[in-house]
Structure 1
Amino acid sequence: MKLGLNLVGNGAHGGGWRMPDAHVGSSLDFQLWKRLAILAERAKFHFMFWADGIAVRSSARDETQLSYDSRIDVFEPLTVMAALAAVTERMGFVASASTTYNEPYHVARKFASLDHISGGRVGWNVVTSWSEQEALNFGREAHMEHSLRYKQAEEFVDVVFGLWDSWEDDAFIRDKATGQYFDPARLHTPHHRGEHFTVRGPLNVARPLQGYPVIAQAGSSGPGQDLAGRTAELVYTMQKSRADAVAFYSSVKSRFAAHGRSAESSLVMPGMMPIMGRTLQEAKDRAEQLQELIHPELGLAALIPSFGDLGGYPLDGPVPAPLADTNSVKSAHARLAKEMEGKSITIRQLIHQRSASGHHVVVGTPASIADEMEDWFVNRGCDGWNILPPFFPAPVEEVFELLIPELQRRGLFHTEYEGKTLRENLGLARPTHPAKRSAAAAE
């Protein structure tokens, strides 16, 4: 299986930063990220992953409610990727860049530069953004409608690919004798004019070392799966049961053929939060402590997009029905509505259930957590996992020290990197330049 390390601010659990052994300033402690990157590479993780947003993404009703959120201060991930690439050699780095609040040329240039800097070890997580707060930072009164965001995203990705293909791999001849720096026959200026973007090109960076950085995609809705079927090589998803994971795996992989791609050309990697102990009781105690440390105001803010402001309801009273629709994460809203159907739980219980942002939480020993990971993997519910530590640094260090050796002992996880680039280590093909494909087809 493939493994990514999904880094969320001060930890992926809402109460994690309050744990007695948590480093409360981890989100902006570069020395910590540097140490974790070195340890992750020693453990042979395939990549570190940042599911980034370009706003304080909270639906809190006011500043007081917002003040209980620990995910406020976070690094811009491409900056961190460049720094961590300099202290590692084989592990990859994947981060989000929004197709709604960026320009294609900026994204193409930044990721191409990072691919060269890292020696071919980066990936772009293609997101359309889900929060209204991002819209307010970019001159809009409201977030673009869901289906329109995905339509724009398709063209955005096409433009970026075209920019990366501005130059063939051997275009820069740099001939001192003749004075010619590049071969003009190997320059392909995109001259893109579309519905959403007009971009002449060419890109002022050579073609990425990997051809294209690895393309990740995190949408699980219908349009999100369609975009994944067209472009994604890593599919990041939230699934809470093996049955749902198997159904999603089958659904998203079935969309590849329509785009001339094989199901094996992409890896499905759901998020998982392991809450681990050396004994089951130790793990349960840690999980219970984490839940007790979720401040009610933090939980209520997280429920606003799906239920509205529940601040006037008793915490131990029943949860009202979810709102009819949402313009944010469609798949997560649909999954929540399905989970709530026919159930009667309290608002406090729902807050605790959603403490890991909708991801699969597994409480247990290294062996029992490995059992769960293996079960999903062998039953075609995933090709690997994005692991979300609840806080830093102890839970992630325990993954390195206890969980990885257990997976390796079972033959489920590699003991050495297969290559030098992220594509090589993930078993993904390097995209051939379109000009080379055309020439080969004409022979």
Structure 2
Amino acid sequence: MDDPSPDGLRLAIALDGTGWHPGSWRAPGARPRDLLTAGYWVDVVREAERGLVDLVTIEDSLGLQADGGQDPGERTDRVRGRLDAVLVAARVAPIVPHVSIVPTAVTTHTEPFHLSKAIATLDFVSGGRAGVRVQVSGRADEAALVGRRPVLQIADLFAEAADWVEVVRRLWDSWEDDAEIRDAATGQFVDRDRLHYIDFSGPHFAVRGPSITPRPPQGQPVVAALAHRDVAFELVGSSADLGFVTPHATGDIAAILGEIRAAQDAAGRAGEPLPVLGDVLVVLDDDAGAAADRLGRLDELAGEPLTSDALVFAGTPAGLADVLLEWRRAGLAGARLRPATIADDLPAISRGLVPELQRRGAFRTTYPDGWAGTLRGLLGMDRPANRYATTGGAR
């Protein structure tokens, strides 16, 4: 067996429009006219589920997609506009029964009370397969859309995001699991003593609570974050259940994990499961030369070479499997794969890469027994106790 872990790799798929390459919408089979339809997203997530992946993430932002700092309104040859990721997830989740769905939320301009309710609702409609990927925004155009305040400094953005996660987690716990009695005979629907004020007060938020949505099926839906640098590594280590990072070589991994684990220890979370996945933007073909040629054609369609914060891999499924298993041996739990084109590279993952990993004994051949149908269960995480029920917090 190539993989040293008994449970093999973790795999996630990052979904963004027609794909992560800016020329992907012009590729054959891209379906750009279907992007704003529910059917498109159902089809895409079904293809990801065919690959038995742990989860899919759905990208989102509050502004038009940008190109390297350029005003996004200046170019008309790029995909512009997107559906709300949480609402897409809520539409797809009841139809696609196994894969978990983790939409992106921009914490900088979105109130934690509103998103806690939305993600709790997603957890209910998915049967416990929900999470949220927290994202900060330092873009002036997005701040101007909201008009609430100027752009924050990077340290303040991430400090606010940490408080945002804490408020959301407290709101998810503000109802005990047995708060709803629903006893028609006595006329008592809810036990008020099992609803709790969270009384959070900090430099960024003051939220009394409780939530208006009962505690989600997972207790705490999975919180994920993408990290490129020190303050983001701290956010993953202190506040997240799942991290995504962007090593460009195997040699980068030890230092990245060292910073995340140090932040995890400093937050008093040593020993808690916190899987970290490496992001890779993939262009796959049965022949490495053909994959490189297709990347070149996509660059021509876009009018410029592809650039990415993540490693760009153009090659075969077997070659990508080599990279992922090398990363696994270096300490990552797996990978989050960004298909350059959804039409080509997502099926290449689900029907090419996954079978290759299975042949090597490094990936599941079915969703496992005993995972309880929840994302936390699939990731090997327990359903957490309610902080207020166990500590006797104020009611």
For normalisation by structure 2, the TM-score amounts to 0.90
**Corresponding residue to 1:378 among 329, 337, 345:** 329
2:359 equivalent among 409, 412, 432 = 409
Residue 68 of structure 1 corresponds to: 77
Alpha-carbon displacement from aligned partner over 1:158-180 (angstroms, at most 9, x marks no partner): 22122111111111111222222
CA distance in 1, matches of 2:255, 2:107: 28
Please tell me whether the aligned partners of residues 120 and 422 of structure 1 are also in contact (alpha carbons under 8 angstroms). Answer: yes
The Cα of 1:266 is off from its aligned counterpart by: 0.9
- Given the alignment, which residue of 320, 345, 358 partners 1:395? 345
Change (3 A) 1:399 1:228: same
Question: What is the aligned length?
Answer: 379
State the 1:193 CA deviation: 3.0
2:115 is paired with a residue whose SS is helix
SS in 2 for 1:174: strand
Letter in 1 for 2:77: Y
The answer to whether the aligner puts 1:427 opposite 2:380 as a matched pair is yes
Query: Rg larger in 1 or in 2?
Result: 1
- Alpha-carbon distance in structure 1 between the residues aligned to 2:113 and 2:184: 30
Question: What is the 5 A alignment of 1:94-173?
Answer: 94-140=102-148, 142-173=150-181
Aligned mate of 1:50, from 58, 63, 73:
58
Instruction: Confirm or deny: 8 A CA contact 1:77 1:95 kept in the other structure.
Output: yes
1:337-378, Cα deviation, whole Å (9 max, x unpaired): xxxxxxxxxxxxxxx2xx252211112111111111111111
C-alpha displacement of 1:95: 1.4
Q: CA–CA distance in 1 between the matches of 2:129 and 2:24?
A: 30
Does the 8 A contact of 2:38 with 2:92 survive in 1?
no
- The one-letter code sitting in structure 2 at the alignment partner of 1:73 is G
Aligned-pair CA distance for 1:62: 7.4
Q: Give the TM-score normalised by structure 1.
A: 0.81
The CA distance in 2 between the partners of 1:26 and 1:199, in whole Å, is: 40
Q: Distance in 1 between matches of 2:336 and 2:307?
A: 13
Show the counterpart of 2:6: none
* Alignment check: 8 A CA contact 1:273 1:356 kept: no
Pairing 1:247-262 to 2, within 5 Å after superposition: 247-262=255-270
Partner of 2:195: 187
The question of whether the paired residues in 1 share the 8 Å contact of 2:20 and 2:340 is answered with yes
In the aligned structure 1, how far is the partner of 2:380 from the partner of 2:391? 24
Question: Which residue of the partner structure matches residue 391 of structure 2?
Answer: 438
> Is the 2:64–2:72 Cα contact (8 Å) retained in structure 1?
no
What is the one-letter code of the residue matched to 1:427? G
8 Å CA contact retained: 2:224, 2:241: yes
For residues 193 and 48 of structure 1, what CA distance do their matches in structure 2 show?
33
Q: What RMSD over aligned residues (CA atoms) do the two structures have, in Å? A: 1.9
Q: Please, which runs of 5 or more residues in structure 2 have no aligned partner?
A: 1-8
Q: 1:269 matched to which residue of 2?
A: 277
**Closer, same or farther: CA 370–436 of 1 in aligned 2, 3 Å:** same
CA distance in 1, matches of 2:275, 2:248: 18
Q: Distance in 2 between matches of 1:103 and 1:146?
A: 19
Query: In structure 2, do the counterparts of structure 1 residues 142 and 69 end up closer, same or farther at CA, with 3 Å as the change threshold?
Result: farther
Pairwise CA distance, 1:93: 0.5
Q: Where does residue 5 of structure 2 map in the other structure?
A: none
Letter of the 2:138 counterpart:
W
Match of 2:309 among 331, 348, 358: 358
1:323-334 mapped onto 2 (5 Å cutoff): none
Distance, in Å, in 2 between the alignment partners of 1:154 and 1:264 is 17
